[in-house]
Amino acid sequence: MESVGEPQPSKVEMAETPGQSKDIQLVTALLPSYNAEAFIRDTLDSLVAQSWPRLEILIGDDFSTDETPAIIQDFASRHENIRILKRDQNLGWLGNCNDLMKNARGELMFFAFHDDVVAPEYVSLLAEALQREPGAILAYSDIELVEPDGTREFLACKELSGVKSPTKRGLLYAQRRSSFHWWIPNRGLFRRKAYDIIGGIQKNQYGEFSADWTWLLAMSLMGAFVRVPQTLCFKRYQKSSLSINWRRTPEKYRGLACAGISEVMKSDLNPVGKLVICGYLRYRIAGSKLKSLLKGQRSNA
């Protein structure tokens, strides 16, 4: 176990299993935790059970006030590939995620959220998918979603599969249709260069609200998203889950669209692609403003 600092070579990086190829990439599981005592053992159990031979488990505990620190310290004492970033203040989920990406040693990374569980072959299958697609930036699987009331649902993000055009991928994110489970790839394996180029998950004018959408939009402009059509990730929503408790308003979605325009304009997408995606986002902003205006006029009538 160690605190945050300059990354140094670890036993995870240096050790080699007999007969193991030196070309096997180091993968970092990014585990942002906060008051996660109810579920984090299951998350950690699923990570230490991964079949991929080179895995770093990097935990950023966000100044938890429950038993989470003791639980992760116990796991770290028993598993050499676990590294802990110590916090002396709460960074928030976005700050925690960005700091984890900054300190990761792996060439490939994925978010292992503290109420998620992944199948033992999760890393292996997604890493192999990226190896087969050198131009892809991210690989993801289907998921099983467990609601707070125990309801279970199997979900897939099929729309992105096989889409080679960055403009088409970006437009899918800009349209954000209700049937499009855009957030599923955020539980996928991505190349480190995504963080290096984008600079992490960016806040919008309403703070952290749905900032993972902007992050995925920016990544979709960098490379293809490869779907592995197997259920390898199991997501459990809690009543206290951040995304469930976000207050969703038209103003916030307009602010999010503005943040999306900023990411598109900063990208290496060609001018025509930028015009198409940003034009659509501006259309959505204008339509939302008009709808709010008409609603206000009806209320005052």
Same domain, 109 and 154: no
**Single residue among 64, 81, 115 that ends a domain in this structure:** 115
Q: Could you write out the DSSP letters of every residue in 67-110?
A: SHHHHHHHHHHH-TTEEEE--SS--HHHHHHHHHHHH---SEEE
Return the H-helix or E-strand segment holding 29: strand 27-33
The residue to which tokens 């325009």 are assigned? 261
Same domain, 148 and 270: yes
Calpha distance 3→241 (Å, rounded): 27
pLDDT of residue 298: 63
Same domain, 46 and 160: no
When comparing pLDDT for 4 and 168, which is higher? 168
Where do the H-state alpha helices sit in the chain? 11-14, 40-48, 68-78, 92-103, 122-132, 166-175, 192-198, 211-220, 242-245, 250-266, 271-300
- Full domain range(s) for residue 237: 119-292
**Single residue among 115, 146, 163 that ends a domain in this structure:** 115
Q: With respect to residue 301, please indicate whether it lies within any of the assigned structural domains.
A: no
Counted domains in the chain: 2
Calpha distance 215→212 (Å, rounded): 5
Q: What is the CATH number of the domain that holds 62?
A: 3.90.550.10
Same domain, 189 and 86: no
Q: With respect to residue 298, please indicate whether it lies within any of the assigned structural domains.
A: no
Same domain, 212 and 187: yes
pLDDT of residue 217: 98
What band does 22 get if pLDDT is binned at 50, 70 and 90?
low
Two structure tokens written together for 6: 């300059």
The residue to which tokens 């204008």 are assigned? 286
Q: With respect to residue 270, please indicate whether it lies within any of the assigned structural domains.
A: yes
HSE-CB at 245 with a 13 A cutoff on CA atoms is 7
The residue to which tokens 């990086």 are assigned? 13
When comparing pLDDT for 27 and 238, which is higher? 27
Q: What are 2-16's pLDDT values in tens digits?
A: 444 444 444 444 344
Same domain, 166 and 261: yes
pLDDT at 150 over 90: no
pLDDT at 295 over 80: no
> What's the mean pLDDT when you consider all of the chain?
90
Calpha distance 182→169 (Å, rounded): 11
pLDDT at 21 over 90: no
Q: What are 123-137's pLDDT values in tens digits?
A: 999 999 999 999 999
What band does 227 get if pLDDT is binned at 50, 70 and 90?
very high
Two structure tokens written together for 199: 């600079």
Same domain, 272 and 138: yes
Calpha distance 259→208 (Å, rounded): 11
Mean pLDDT, range 197-209, rounded to an integer = 94
What band does 288 get if pLDDT is binned at 50, 70 and 90?
confident
**Single residue among 60, 93, 115 that ends a domain in this structure:** 115
Q: With respect to residue 52, please indicate whether it lies within any of the assigned structural domains.
A: yes
Q: What are 80-100's pLDDT values in tens digits?
A: 999 999 888 999 999 999 999
